[in-house]
Amino acid sequence: MTFDYVAPGSVAEACDLLERGGPDAHALAGGTALMLLYKQGLLRPEKVVGLSRLAELRGVRRLAGGGLWLGAMTTHRAIEAHPDVAGFSPALAKAFASVATIRIRNQATIGGNLAHADPAQDPPPMLIAFDAEVEIAHGAAKRALPLGELFRDVFETALSPGELIVGIRLPPLPTGARATYLKFLPRTEDDYATVSVAARVAVAEDGRCSDARVCLGSVGSTPVRSQAVERALVGQPLTDRVLAEAAALVVGDIDPFDDVRGTASYKRRMAEVCTRRALAEIAAPMAH
């Protein structure tokens, strides 16, 4: 019923322990996801590999050229409060601050959030809209994966046994880019989203959209990027009509399911509404 716990002193050792433990070995960061699944009987780990001693996985750093690095063991609260995060994009800080409550954000880490692969989480759509890459260690080896490719299904990732998320890397923002994170919450403020929309849009000097990323949460088994919306924006002036027509295309890219936060048809309607609102929020200050 219970598990063995070990807290290794290096990433390589953690990877080795995870590899030898196979599918029944799990990494423990803040504990909010793992202990919840354990208490509910949804997960029966044989070995738990604690990451608390891996100080090199904590912290936020600006990268040369204007990018941003988030250590996997950094808490949501530390990220939302870090001046370099708001300096990179206020919307990024907002997406982290949208998660649950301060108490959970003090405990839950970004690495744990991504490895948990819950499609209703707030940071993943925003990070995907920023073209984030996940840094994954496997012993001494390292690989980088576009964040969108990490998520395979509800609670399922592309990580192999022995692989560990060590950081998230965000490239510099395109010139003239603005971003937003919109979380639709019809119940309580600490809830998971019924639908959420992360968007990043850049406008060229001629007033036309030069670059767009739109990614939604809670509308499928993974975060869902809507390239149909993005294609409808690029090259166009950001008029109300262009935004509305682009937002309407989101419905073809998403596959929401019924749950306590709404029916699938309700979420499809609200995905369009929220996408239009998010785009309008970004476009408003760009109009002049």
- 260 sits near another protein (criterion: CB under 8 A): no
String of contacts with another protein for each residue 64-93, x by CB under 8 A: -------------x----------------
Q: Does 2 bind another protein (CB under 8 A)?
A: yes
Size of the site for another protein (CB under 8 A): 28
Stretch that binds another protein, among 36-44, 170-178, 197-205, 232-240 (CB under 8 A): 36-44
Distance CA 104, CA 248 (A): 35
Q: How far is the CB of 169 from another protein (least distance, A)?
A: 27
Which one among 7, 145, 248, 286 touches another protein, defined by CB under 8 A? Answer: 7
Spatial separation of the C-alpha atoms in residues 157 and 238, rounded to whole Å: 36
Rounded-to-integer distance, Cα 207 and Cα 165, Å = 39
How far apart are the C-alpha atoms of 288 and 127, rounded to whole Å?
28
User: Which one of 190, 240, 255, 258 is in contact with another protein (CB under 8 A)?
Assistant: 190
Minimum gap (Å) between residue 37 Cβ and another protein: 10
- Least Å distance, CB 115 to another protein, is 16
Q: Which of 11, 14, 15, 28 binds another protein (CB under 8 A)?
A: 28
Choice from 8, 50, 59, 161 touching another protein (CB under 8 A)? 50
- Would you count residue 160 as binding another protein (CB under 8 A)? no
Interactions with another protein, residue window 90-129 (CB under 8 A): 100-104, 106-107
Q: Which is nearer to another protein, 188 or 288 (CB)?
A: 188
Minimum distance of another protein from residue 35's CB (angstroms): 5
Among 8, 13, 16, 31, binds another protein (CB under 8 A): 31
Question: Half-sphere exposure of 37 toward its Cβ, with a 13 Å CA cutoff?
Answer: 14
Q: For residue 286, give Cα distances in angstroms to 2, 81, 193, 209, 243.
A: 56, 27, 27, 10, 13
Total residue length of the chain: 288
We find the least distance from the C-beta atom of residue 5 to another protein, in angstroms, to be: 3
Q: Check if the beta carbon of residue 124 is closer than 8 Å to that of residue 114.
A: yes
Residue 219's nearest CA partner among 178, 261, 180 is 261
Do residues 6 and 88 touch, judged by C-beta distance below 8 A?
no
Task: Enumerate residues 6+ apart whose C-beta is below 8 A from 281.
Answer: 180, 182
Nearest distance, CB of residue 190 and another protein, angstroms: 6
Radius of gyration (C-alpha) of the chain in whole angstroms: 19
Residue whose pair of structure tokens reads 């433990």 in the numeric block: 21
Helix, strand, coil tally for the chain in percent (to 5)? 40, 25, 35
Stretch that binds another protein, among 34-42, 151-159, 166-174, 225-233 (CB under 8 A): 34-42
Residues that bind another protein (CB under 8 A): 2-7, 28, 31-32, 35-36, 38-40, 48, 50, 52, 77, 100-104, 106-107, 188-190
